[in-house]
Amino acid sequence: MATLSNPPKSPYGLARDQYVHYVPTPMRVVRRMLEMAEIQPGETVYDLGSGDGRIVISAVRNYGARGVAIEIDRERIELARRRAGPLLERIAFRRQNVFKVDLRPADVVMIYLTSLLNYHLLRRLERMKRGARVISHNFELPGMAAYKVARLHCRDAFQHNIYAYRIPLTRE
């Protein structure tokens, strides 16, 4: 396991398809992630690697949040915009590298990235405002202690782990 004293190899030297691929989050998992985030109306929810936008669209529709979807793939952004329909005015879709996003305005950050990528996001996550939440699907934040963990089984026959963290992050 990667820790802060034993960092993994940086993804920056790798081709994008070697460390990033799109896997849609099952809707049952989306619902549980949003519940664990304890979103309040008007809060801002970021989704890093937002794919088809299902997480921010659900956060806006069901919790009255504002959404910021960060995705590098143009086609997925266009699909997400179409799926957002009338909610589009409350969701910003940005074509941006997740390592260059300013997360300080976020109340909640949703991620479904590998532990390696999570490790490289730690410094940005740690700069978020006090009380902000980070919800990670399947991959922990290396070296950090989640305050809440859920395990779900879905129709895809896989176990899905969801980890909830609060800023400031707590080291294990």
Q: What are phi and psi of 119, to 5 degrees?
A: -55, -45
pLDDT, tens digit, 9 for 90 and up, residues 79-94: 999 999 999 999 999 9
Q: In what order do the strands lie in the sheet with 108-111?
A: 91-95, 66-71, 44-48, 108-111, 133-137, 159-166, 148-153
Pairwise CA distance, residues 171 & 154, whole Å: 30
pLDDT, tens digit, 9 for 90 and up, residues 123-162: 999 999 999 999 999 999 999 999 999 999 888 778 899 9
Please tell me the predicted confidence (pLDDT) of residue 111: 97
Average pLDDT over every residue of 46-52: 95
pTM to 2 decimal places:
0.88
Average pLDDT over every residue of 26-45: 96
Q: Which residues contact residue 94 at a Cβ distance below 8 angstroms, ignoring those fewer than 6 apart?
A: 68, 69, 70, 71, 101
Note if the bond before 168 is cis, omega within 30 degrees. yes
